[in-house]
Amino acid sequence: MLTSEWKKSSRSGHNGACVEVRLADKAVEVKDSKLSDSPVLRASSADWQAVLSR
């Protein structure tokens, strides 16, 4: 499985609100980095593109 490093979103706030994303095996994963045990949302590339286009 090809997985990239977590990257902080450029839209994350400076007040600690931080969303991180990474590519993982033909999908995109998103998590809240404030939480040490944050659940990870996994979406297909097509679904992620639909989210970004809204």
pLDDT, one tens digit per residue, over 2-54 is 678 988 877 666 766 688 889 988 899 999 988 889 999 999 989 989 988 88
pTM of the full structure: 0.74
Detail the DSSP E strand segments found in the chain.
7-8, 19-23, 27-32, 41-44
Question: Do the beta carbons of residue 19 and residue 6 sit within 8 Å?
Answer: no
For the chain, the structural domain boundaries read: 7-52
Res 10: pLDDT: 75
Distance CA 9, CA 13 (A): 9
